[in-house]
Structure 1
Amino acid sequence: MELSLMGLQNAGKTALINAVDNVGYSEDLDPTIGFHMREVTKRNVILKLRDGSGQSGFRSFWEGFCRDNPAKVYVVDAADVDNLFISKKELHKLLSKTSLNGIPLLVLGNKMDEPGALSKDAFTEEMGLQLLSDREVCCFMISCKNYTNIDQVFDWLLSKLKN
């Protein structure tokens, strides 16, 4: 299964790949510049995970980056309330692309272990997820640092592979 991870810089996309791959958490990850692909094997499933840069200059490439995926994965720093509006705007801009119509969406509120992180209800409201009726939308609050809900994320992704 090939999946692309999108989201603003410092949301935790690379940390999520590390968590799925069980390689451990690091506070000292360098920002992704451009796009990186890593193959991860988990429960006899090979995932090709593409980590896309979240800096503003790279966001215009997100559409092509995730067009042929069975699901879109959007990672958000749920503790960075100052950037939630930008993250919401970028997500909804991406979802407006006709080439991505109907593709299931997985939104991950990362860093739920951090002080000030939003609850799932507040996060869903702030990101406008309740407004999305043209596709299946799933949301998990996760912590890549503590591996919270990482297995549930993987199970959801597997369900998309089987469909």
Structure 2
Amino acid sequence: MLRAWLNWLRSLFWSTTLDIACIGMQNAGKTSLVNVLTDNRFSESMIPTLKVWDLAGQPRFRSIWERYCVGVSAIVWVLDSADRDTFPTARAELHALLDKPELRAIPLLVLANKNDLDDHATVDEVIKALALSTITNREVSCYSISAKSSRNIDITLAWLMKRAAH
């Protein structure tokens, strides 16, 4: 039942144009998320109705994140919710990115990935750790997901679909 519903949502997703930047620290699960969202349906012959910038999270690549975020429909910040040691760096990098004037008002979706692992942070813990309540110049949402088990991918797709409709 869930698979059929996800396929229906994906069919809607593919019929619209949506540009998103998928960003976060290394090993957060960004590429896994993109693969789950697209059901590995990317091909060179596909008409590009969805453009996803899956950006590397290593320190040497963080300076280029901004240029891929300009003009996107949404910024998707992926966080490994089971690796609490990365939270302070994730917070600093996220806020530095969002402070760029050209990125003002772009909606932000924070995905606390890997909720299939023991001792993952809750949504409330992530909101506090990343100081998401202090971000007031844009829409901000936060969900706990697992790209590995597809947990809460349906609400992620629904959130993205709302951005495509705008």
TM-score range, shorter chain: 0.7 to 0.9
Where does residue 94 of structure 1 map in the other structure?
A: 97
1:147 aligns with 2:143: no
Q: Which ranges of structure 2 fall in alignment gaps of 5 or more residues?
A: 1-17
CA contact (8 A) 2:26 2:56 kept: yes
Where does residue 32 of structure 2 map in the other structure?
A: 15
CA contact (8 A) 2:19 2:74 kept: no
CA distance in 2, matches of 1:50, 1:162: 20
Where does residue 61 of structure 1 map in the other structure?
A: 64
Q: Which ranges of structure 1 fall in alignment gaps of 5 or more residues?
A: 24-37
CA distance in 1, matches of 2:35, 2:164: 20
Deviation of 1:115 after TM superposition, in Å, equals 1.2
More helix by share: 2
One of 133, 136, 139 as aligned partner of 1:136: 139
CA distance in 1, matches of 2:25, 2:123: 19
Deviation of 1:52 after TM superposition, in Å, equals 0.4
One of 111, 115, 124 as aligned partner of 1:112: 115
Q: Deviations over 1:98-149 (max 9, x none)?
A: 0101111111000011111011111111111111111100111100011011
Where does residue 26 of structure 1 map in the other structure?
A: none
Root-mean-square deviation (CA, aligned residues, Å) is 1.6
One of 69, 75, 96 as aligned partner of 2:78: 75
Where does residue 3 of structure 2 map in the other structure?
A: none
CA distance in 1, matches of 2:62, 2:90: 11
Computing the radius of gyration from Cα coordinates, the structure with the larger value is 2
The one-letter code sitting in structure 2 at the alignment partner of 1:141 is S
Q: What is the identity percentage for the equivalent residue pairs of Structure 1 and Structure 2?
A: 40
Moved over 6 A (4+): none
The one-letter code sitting in structure 2 at the alignment partner of 1:121 is D
The one-letter code sitting in structure 2 at the alignment partner of 1:110 is N
The one-letter code sitting in structure 1 at the alignment partner of 2:141 is C
Deviation of 1:46 after TM superposition, in Å, equals 3.4
One of 154, 157, 160 as aligned partner of 1:157: 160
Deviation of 1:22 after TM superposition, in Å, equals 2.6
Q: TM-score, normalised by structure 1?
A: 0.84
More strand by share: 1
Deviation of 1:39 after TM superposition, in Å, equals 4.0
CA contact (8 A) 1:106 1:138 kept: yes
Q: TM-score, normalised by structure 2?
A: 0.83
The one-letter code sitting in structure 2 at the alignment partner of 1:13 is K
CA distance in 2, matches of 1:91, 1:114: 23
